[in-house]
Structure 1
Amino acid sequence: MASAQSTGRRAAAALTAYAVLAGVVVAWGWMLTHTWSAVDGPDDRVSRWFASQRSGALDPVAEVGTFLGETVVGLVVAAVVAVAAGLALRSLLAAALVLVADVGDGGIYWLASHADPRDRPPVQILDAGLVADHSFPSGHVGTATAVYGAAALLLAVWLRRRHQTGPGWLLVGVLALLPAYVALSRLYQGAHHVTDVGTSLVFGAVWLGVLVAATRLWPGREERVPGSSGGLPDPSVPHR
């Protein structure tokens, strides 16, 4: 009963945090589009700088970054990561984390993009077919932050629980950097202002932090303090 009550409280806290986060993002978007119009100048200068760096060699690199942040790609990757994490960590919470991260991030994007219409940057946009006034926030960057960020966290949990070192942590680093790669790609293609992609990076990371706290998947100190048996705590020594 106590465990069920604790789980319920954590779920309620996560939902409350989600509602607050969504409200903050919408309020921030409203300020960008109404109160702080002075931001447009610096935003536009950054967009023009990225546009000036375009080349035949960089165009396909940006296309790959955009592809990694596509909604369908994110959903497929999230499903694969959910199955792999659930089996590797033997936890339904681990499987749910990446799915809830992606869906929750998408919900905030949908709400903010409709509540705070914002025109795309005043440069040639290389990604055709975008809604003209859905610049804020970046859905691609939000998807990448939720999915690849969750994948990096879950892999790190698996490695820490097994006291692993080596190439596995290199993969964690690569996964953690993918949202930044997607963000740079969207800026390069002229799809978003820098404040749009920055907002998605921040709220996506905060939402992941909320979910990690709610699920308590990160190993506790007692799970990673090396003992006399080669990395596991010595059962003969009581914890204090």
Structure 2
Amino acid sequence: MALFNLSLYIFLSFVQNVIDIERMLVVRELSLRLLIIWLICIFLTGFFALVARSIHLHTITSFDDPIIDFVQGAETTWLTAIMKAFTTIGSTAVVVLLAVFALAILLRLQYRAQAILLVSVLAGTGILNQVLKFIFKRERPDFYRLIEITGYSFPSGHTMMAFSLYTILAYIVWRNLRFTWSRVVVVILATVMIVMIALSRIYLGVHYPSDIVGGMLASMVWLIASIAMYQQFQHQRQSKTALSKERKSYR
């Protein structure tokens, strides 16, 4: 948990710094920024492809089985109740409800660009998940289950939506916070939600660990691309505003 916590914090910091790199460069800043973003996305896509190929070749079992045994070996009545609660929180209905609530707040505060970013990330994640499930058509685990569910397994829809929702909310809040400690709190809360929802899918027997990894990788690619487009839009808008003010000052 602590490692994932730190990883998400570094991820948010890294994305922010990479996308804002033009502020520190004098020449070729746009081209370099786009190059870095493309390289990151290509790397993550390659990692996703590696996981998918391992699933196809059935070599991923050496990764999946020990984790499944460990997670499901911790089964207790009270833990099952907690895991069912987290998997419900990661359901489509709850994600949509939370997204609508967050969207209403953003619109109320007149953060229209960030509202569009939120909708784009979540809608894109949902579509991407369904497309990937249709492509790979991996059957769900056929061993011990605590709940019954239909549909394909790879990548995990709950994980993708949870990762996208809580990471983009953390990113939006992050941009509006000044103090490091408050940013750390946001990252911790987002991390807890993502990790617990992901673990609940393994614990309840409806996903392989590799489904979780694949879901996170796919979401990362879409998140980075979406945030990059958002930052580019903001940069262009600020540049136009600055240029307009400069022209007015000469009149």
Normalised to the residue count of structure 1, the TM-score between the two structures is 0.71
Gaps of 5+ in 1: 1-8, 221-240
Structure 2 letter corresponding to 1:43: D
Q: Which residue of structure 1 lines up, in the alignment, with residue 205 of structure 2?
A: 190
Q: Which residue of structure 2 lines up, in the alignment, with residue 146 of structure 1?
A: 164
Q: Which residue of structure 2 lines up, in the alignment, with residue 124 of structure 1?
A: 144
- 1:32 CA displacement: 3.4
Q: Which residue of structure 2 lines up, in the alignment, with residue 231 of structure 1?
A: none
Q: 1:26 to 1:116 in 2, by over 3 A?
A: farther
Q: 1:195 to 1:180 in 2, by over 3 A?
A: same
Measure, in 1, the Cα distance between the counterparts of 2:172 and 2:217: 19
Structure 1 letter corresponding to 2:217: V
1:31 to 37, 44, 53: 53
2:97 to 63, 76, 79: 76
Q: Which has the higher helix share?
A: 2
Measure, in 2, the Cα distance between the counterparts of 1:77 and 1:44: 33
- 1:71 CA displacement: 1.0
Q: 1:24 to 1:151 in 2, by over 3 A?
A: same
User: Once superposed, what is the RMSD of the aligned Cα atoms?
Assistant: 3.1
1:95 to 115, 118, 122: 115
Measure, in 1, the Cα distance between the counterparts of 2:43 and 2:95: 21
Measure, in 1, the Cα distance between the counterparts of 2:185 and 2:77: 30
Q: Identity percentage over the alignment? A: 21
2:155 to 137, 152, 164: 137
Measure, in 1, the Cα distance between the counterparts of 2:87 and 2:210: 17
Q: Report if the CA contact (8 A) 2:87-2:197 is conserved.
A: yes
Q: Which residue of structure 2 lines up, in the alignment, with residue 44 of structure 1?
A: 65
Measure, in 1, the Cα distance between the counterparts of 2:116 and 2:47: 24
Gaps of 5+ in 2: 1-29, 236-251
Q: Answer yes or no: is 1:58 the counterpart of 2:93.
A: no
Q: 1:156 to 1:128 in 2, by over 3 A?
A: same
Structure 2 letter corresponding to 1:91: Y
Structure 2 letter corresponding to 1:153: Y
1:207 to 222, 229, 247: 222
- 1:169 CA displacement: 4.6
Q: Which residue of structure 2 lines up, in the alignment, with residue 237 of structure 1?
A: none
Measure, in 2, the Cα distance between the counterparts of 1:117 and 1:191: 14
